């Protein structure tokens, strides 16, 4: 299980959401990288009862994650996945929908 983020090929800066140009070195070449877990910074309970959380990961990356299969509190370490329907993950997110050209 892991979440996908973007890494600059030139300076190795990490980004999420994805960027067109690196704000550190101003280059435009990126690769996808992965992170497996993060620390819950804050939690929001939606009117539907669904919980979302701001999750801080390595290199100060922040993800907004939908919590699946339980509840979390600030300070909890959680697993991340890019598969929103994966039942074994505590948190899921879908950063973008890819289409094949």
CA dist 46 and 84 (Å) reads 17
Question: Of residues 86 and 96, which shows the higher confidence score?
Answer: 86
pLDDT for 96 beyond 60: no
CA dist 63 and 57 (Å) reads 8
Residue 49: the pLDDT is: 87
The per-residue pLDDT for range 16-52, each reduced to its tens digit, is 888 999 999 999 999 999 998 999 999 999 998 889 9
pLDDT mean over 52-75: 88
Residue 85: the pLDDT is: 60
CA dist 83 and 24 (Å) reads 30
- CA-based diameter of the chain, in Å? 43
Residue 21: the pLDDT is: 96
Residues in the chain: 101
CA dist 78 and 68 (Å) reads 11
């Amino acid at each position: 299980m892991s979440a996908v983020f973007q890494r600059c090929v030139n300076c190795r800066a990490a980004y999420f959401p994805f960027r067109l140009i690196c704000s550190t070195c101003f280059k435009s070449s990126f690769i996808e990288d992965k992170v497996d877990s993060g620390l819950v910074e804050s939690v929001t309970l939606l009117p539907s009862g669904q919980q979302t959380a701001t999750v801080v990961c390595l290199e100060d990356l922040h993800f907004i994650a939908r919590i699946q299969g339980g509840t979390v509190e600030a300070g909890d370490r959680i697993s991340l996945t890019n598969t929103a329907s994966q039942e074994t993950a505590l948190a899921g997110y879908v950063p973008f929908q890819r289409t094949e050209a």
